[in-house]
Amino acid sequence: MQFRVFIQLAGLLLLVATGVRAQSFIDNALDFSRTNPGGSARIQGIGGAQVALGGDFSSALSNPAGLGMYNRSEFTITPALNFYSTESTYNGNQESDSRTKFTLPGLSYVSHSPKNNNGFMGGSFGITMTRTNDFNNSFRYGGNDNVSSIVDFFLQQATGIPSNNLNFDLPTGLAYNNYLIDDSTFWGGSQGQYFSVIGLYDDPNDIRSLYREGTVKTNGAQYQWSFAYGANFNDKIFVGATVGIATLRYKFSALYRESDFFFELDPDFNPLNYLELEETIDIQGTGVNLTLGLIYRPLDYLQLGISYVTPTSYQSTDSYTARVNTQWNNFNYLGTGTILSAITDESQQPLIAEYNLRTPMRLNLGAAFFIGSSGFISGDVEFVNYSQARYQSDISGISFDQENQVISQLYENTVNFRIGGEYRLNAFRFRGGYQVLSNPYNQSININRSINTLSAGAGYRARRFFTDITWLNTQRDSSYAPYVFDDTLGPVTSIRNMRNTLMLTFGLTF
């Protein structure tokens, strides 16, 4: 198939967790680049629109110039309770799943040093920890199908490879050891050609049906430790810089199962009860970036902000394992007298990949309008080009050129939006906000994966302490294919994801 056609179709399947090697590098390049403007419950309550604001530890991540607006030191901690839910649809069958998880999305210490020296009014140094991405999710799917079996995928993957050269740590090699596919040379065929007793090799006009089902769980998060400083010049110009150390932890586990095989031309043929494929992938990475920021206050009621975040360069390690389990129905294999019953084979050792991932740079613009002492309205736009994500290996002979080419053509430059406001009533604060992570896929691909978050919150300010609470509702659509053929076709499950988050920030000032 021509590469151009592949690019046009790949958006339908390739960019979802494609299974049989867990998520692909192409999928991960997007997922690990699509970070959120995390921070305190106060900032999250206004939709994360913080580029032109200050006086909050969240500035260390988004625009360190905002640290220059501090007039005292503070310590904060931000715990959260997350409620995850998914609704999946496969061949008209709907399934639902849910889970709850406690997290710590924010922790900070900001030290303020006042000055009065020729317009320099001092600044603040902050050390903050912020959760920037959340990978926790789970779903299940199931339904009858007469289109394909994962065995057909194994046959395609094995074609052209002599059986003694199969990788027996990957699913196709494990399927061979389970007799799900077999080398034709043992039966007078050509080398590198395969068949299966449950494939449609006898009569292509036969109709085979089966029941497929599966469960998928993902865990992990991205965090950033920020070491930031913001300076104040005449309460008009604020500048700052941040050195960020980003951490990445992602774990994917999937169980796939096929059963109830039925062949229309041979209804009594019942060689096996079920087959199962289990996969796990564990990714860990550490990266660094730099953020530069500026806030300008031309009028008492207006602040304008800009920040630039360099690409984050991750050094990552990827560990993959697989297991195939086949429950044969005491099958006399091709009349040879070999009786097949339960067979299980698994990876003898994890497949380890070490590589570098560079996520795209970000440019943020923001404005904040203050309504006297009654509150403010704040808005941000963020420019990020996901097609600029790049992989590189330090190991000679390993190239990511093909993955990088697909990334550059599959994703595009996007503009993300955040808007919110705060109303003040004496010591109390009331907030609301909305943010959109826009669709990152090329417009020529008919797929929309925007992420929308609605937020509402409240807070209380006292002389020596403050507290804020925020509720967030995040919704997005995705899809999943346990395997994908060379023509990008495969069984697809549509997924509706929703996360409700309750955040609390407790702060002490001194």
CA-CA distance, 210 to 206, in Å (whole number)?
13
Over its C-alpha atoms, the chain yields an Rg (Å, rounded) of: 27
CA-CA distance, 363 to 262, in Å (whole number)?
56
pLDDT, position 445: 81
pLDDT, position 12: 35
pLDDT, position 2: 33
On whether the CB atoms of residues 260 and 214 are closer than 8 A, the answer is no
Set out the domains of the chain in order of their start, with CATH numbers.
Answer: 3-149+231-509 (2.40.160)
Counting every residue written for the chain, the total comes to: 510
Q: Is the pLDDT of residue 225 over 70?
A: yes
Any residues with CB less than 8 A from the CB of 375 and at least 6 apart, and which? Answer: 421, 422, 423, 424, 429
Average pLDDT, the chain: 91
Identify the DSSP state of 174.
Answer: H
Determine which of 58-62, 247-251, 269-273, 291-295 has the lowest per-residue pLDDT on average. 269-273
On whether the CB atoms of residues 50 and 378 are closer than 8 A, the answer is yes
Confidence of residue 443 (pLDDT cuts 50, 70, 90): confident
417-441 pLDDT, tens digit per residue, is 999 999 999 999 999 999 999 999 9
Percent of the chain at pLDDT > 90 equals: 78
105-134 pLDDT, tens digit per residue, is 999 999 999 988 888 999 999 999 999 999
Amino acid at position 466, single letter: F
Q: Is the pLDDT of residue 1 over 60?
A: no
**Which residue's entry shows tokens 């507290």?**
467
293-344 pLDDT, tens digit per residue, is 999 999 999 999 999 999 999 999 999 999 999 999 999 988 888 999 999 9
Q: What is the dihedral of CA 333, 335, 337, 341, to 10 degrees?
A: 30
